[in-house]
A and B are shown apart, each in its own frame.
Chain A
Amino acid sequence: MSKIMTVDILSSIKGAQPSESVNKLFDVIKNANLTNNNSLNNVNNNCVSINNLREDVVIESSAIEKQLIIENFPNKKNGYLVVAKVIEG
């Protein structure tokens, strides 16, 4: 797997190029001095404890929710939801 993926492929955005404005921000990080390289001390620890995990249950969507999900589908034909062409001929 030595294939290099460019940002336009990674982002699924045609012709995308790194921007100069954003690169300026990244240069600041590259040049920043960390006072302590082992500083990952989890100050912002938002993990959930294993005893506190919610139950893994299936919740049935309401009729209105299902209807709205279908309504949002981008392409419909003869009552079917049409996906983009996946298999190439």
Chain B
Amino acid sequence: MDSQIKHIHQQLVSKEITCTALVQERLDLLKENTYNTVNSLLEITALELAAKVDAKIQKGEKIGLLEGIPFGIKDVYMVQGTYTTASSNLLKNYKSPYTATAIQKLLDAGAIPLVKENCDSFGHGSSSENTIFGAVKNAINPELVAGGSSGGSAVNVAKDYTVFSIGGDTGGSIRQPAGYNNIYGLKPTYGKISRFGLMAYASSTDCVGPLAKTVEDIRIILNVMSGKDSKDQTSYNSKSISEKEISTNTIKTVGYFKNFIESKAIDPDVKADFLASIEKIKATGIKIKELDFFKSDILVSTYYTLAMAETASNLSRLDGTNYGNRIEAENLIETYAVTRSENFSEESKRRIVGGNQVLSQGFSDEIYLKGLALRDQISENFRKDFQEVDVILSPVTPSSPPKIGESLKDPHAMYLSDAYTVGFSLGQLPTLTVPQGTVTGLQISAAKNNEELVLKFANFLKDTI
């Protein structure tokens, strides 16, 4: 199966290339790049680790599959001793005291982190423009946005600056930028990968996931990062997925949401391309089923209500007391307020304020609690759907990426552009973006903990559409 990781591993083992040369080449590309993908480079440690891999190979020792493979990390993950800014003013000088579990597993497997990657501040955005490091530019057309919030990660993979990158997905933040930059991006089942050391945005939907150029690479990285972690009690044990398991298609029934495709908001080209993909799948003998689902505005509003409530709580700790860019004022309360007012972006403030609105007395019943009830109904809808179909296929976004600057003018329009991704987040389902089918790709979703179905179908689609 196609795999950049396996290809580079082979080159290293056969001494066709050295790890130092590989890492140096990618670091140079990252340094020179004009797409604003880099928040900080991890040059010294990367070259030290590369030299160790080369020494091992020279001595004739065996190296693991991920050993010496350069990768990128969205700048919301703790990596001990590195700047971890969340692309925010508040944490622009913050250094991680410890390392996130998912990242530690990759380090233990020998992968080499090169870069902390630009993203929307605290994950608050769908375009990677809400950042102090400059808007990330789309890998295909630099006048367009890279998508968000894991925009820097998607562009680094698309441009081959990193072999893979680790993003974070709360409402679509891996899948949408993967679609905008024509690569693969997986949001696994909630809890499959530990969230320990990922800066919390909305804890009930936050997921760690990989972005890469092949399905096989996604499988390899997912296997390494998955598993129960005592530091995240929502994580669980899961079995590894083998290459063989996903090589032959066993999917018999594919569903799609009729109202996504019949929506007025969908671009006619996206609609036509999606339906053409469905026809090609049908032609292989797979049964297609139209499904009913909640209206897009309900999905988006439910997601944002819950995500804003959770982010208001999670970000309340950022007051400049123990860390962060504290701005002193006449007393403690004023210091908190000035620090937060001056350091949070407009979008982060909007979400914090929205969250506190729905959590406050008099509003929580008619908005927040109702949002929770709607979420349960959405999940129940999915449960029933997966009794009838093996996977659900959808577009990633209703339209092509906007121009840089457009999203910031209309926050409500930006929220609505997440219509096709947020539902699967609320359902905590495994969902993969594949760079095929529409201008921003397709999403494949399965029932919880059925990542192998998603990867299997992605392999099948490579040769089908």
Q: Which residues of A contact B (CB under 8 A)?
A: 5, 7-8, 10-22, 24-26, 28-30, 32, 34-37, 39-44, 46, 48, 52-54, 61, 64-66, 68-69, 71-75, 83-86, 88
Residues on B with beta carbons closer than 8 Å to the beta carbon of A42:
376
5 tightest A-B contacts by CB? A43-B379, A74-B326, A28-B301, A84-B335, A21-B412
**Would you give the shortest CB distance from A80 to chain B, in whole angstroms?**
14
A7-B357, A40-B376 are known contacts. Are A22 and B95 too (CB-CB below 8 A)?
Answer: no
Any A CB within 8 A of the CB of B462: no
Considering only residues 345-399 of chain B, those with a C-beta below 8 Å from chain A are 349-354, 356-358, 360, 366-367, 370-377, 379-380, 383
Within the complex, which residue of A28, A35, A75 is in contact with B326, where a contact is CB–CB below 8 Å?
A75
Residue of A whose beta carbon sits closest to that of B342: A14
Question: Is A32 a contact partner of B370 (Cβ separation < 8 A)?
Answer: yes
Q: Is B464 an interface residue (CB 8 A)?
A: no
Residues in B whose Cβ lies below 8 Å from that of A71: 95
Q: Is the CB of B325 within 8 A of A74?
A: yes
Contacts of A20 in B (CB 8 A): 412
Alpha-carbon gap, A14 to B352, bound state (A): 12
Q: Are B97 and A16 closer than 8 Å at their CB atoms?
A: no
Interface 9-mer from B21-29, B132-140, B316-324? B316-324
> Contacts A25-B304, A72-B94 given: A18-B375 contact, CB under 8 Å?
no
Please determine whether A19 and B336 come into contact, CB atoms closer than 8 angstroms. no
B376 and A43 form a contact (CB under 8 A): yes
CB distance from B380 to the nearest CB of A (A): 6
Interface members, chain B 300-324 (any A CB < 8 Å): 300-302, 304-305, 308, 312, 316, 319-324
Shortest CB-to-CB span from A30 to chain B, Å, is 6
Are A26 and B376 closer than 8 Å at their CB atoms? no
Q: Which of B298, B356, B374 has the most CB of A within 10 A?
A: B356
The answer to whether A16 touches B383, judged by C-beta atoms less than 8 angstroms apart, is no
A74 CB contacts on chain B under 8 angstroms: 320-326
The answer for the CA separation of A29 and B337 in the assembled complex, in Å, is: 30
Q: Is B411 an interface residue (CB 8 A)?
A: yes
Residues of A within 8 A of B97 (CB): 61, 64-66, 68-69, 72
The DSSP consensus for interface residues of chain A is: loop
A19, A21, A75: the one contacting B328 at CB < 8 Å is: A75
Assuming A19-B411, A32-B370, A84-B320, is B300 touching A25 (CB within 8 A)?
yes
Given contacts A29-B301, A39-B373, A43-B380, contact A11 B326 (CB under 8 A): no
What range describes how many residues of B lie at the interface? 35 or more
Q: Does B20 contact A (CB under 8 A)?
A: no
Report chain A residues within 8 Å CB of B374. 29, 32, 34
Q: Are A15 and B341 in contact (CB under 8 A)?
A: yes
Q: Which A residues lie within 8 Å of B190 (CB)?
A: 44, 46
Contact A29 B371, beta carbon cutoff 8 Å:
yes
CA distance A41 to B375 in the complex (A): 10
**Nearest chain B CB to A19's CB is how many angstroms away?**
5
Extra pairs beyond A11-B349, A26-B301 (11, CB < 8 Å): A7-B353, A15-B341, A19-B350, A21-B410, A25-B412, A43-B379, A64-B81, A69-B97, A71-B95, A73-B323, A88-B331
8 Å CB contact of B379 from A24, A34, A44: A44
CB <8 Å contact, B323 and A41? no
Given known A-B contacts A29-B305, A46-B190, A84-B328, A72 and B322 have beta carbons under 8 A apart? yes
